[in-house]
Amino acid sequence: MYGEKYTMERILALTNEKDLFYGIQEKIKDKTNIDIKTCIDNLNLIEKFVSQHTELVILDIDLLNDRVIKLINILRSINKSLKIILILSNDKMSICSHALSLGVVSYLIKPISIDNLTKIITATLKINIQP
Q: What pLDDT shows up at residue 53?
A: 86
3-state class of 66 per DSSP?
coil
Tens-binned pLDDT, residue by residue, of the chain (131 aa): 444 444 678 999 999 999 999 999 888 887 788 899 999 999 999 999 999 889 999 999 999 999 999 999 999 999 999 999 999 999 999 999 889 889 899 999 999 999 999 999 999 998 887 76
Q: What pLDDT shows up at residue 41?
A: 93
Query: What pTM was computed for the model?
Result: 0.90
Q: What pLDDT shows up at residue 47?
A: 94
Q: What pLDDT shows up at residue 2?
A: 44
The answer to whether 80 touches 92, Cβ cutoff 8 Å, is no
Q: What pLDDT shows up at residue 36?
A: 94
The whole-angstrom separation of Cα 111 and Cα 47 is 28
Burial of 4 (0-12, 13-18, 19+ CB in 10 A): exposed
3-state class of 18 per DSSP?
helix
For domain 9-125, the question of CATH label 3.40.50.2300 is answered with yes
Q: What pLDDT shows up at residue 4?
A: 44
Domain ranges of the chain: 9-125
Q: What pLDDT shows up at residue 131?
A: 61
Q: What pLDDT shows up at residue 63?
A: 94
Q: What pLDDT shows up at residue 3?
A: 45
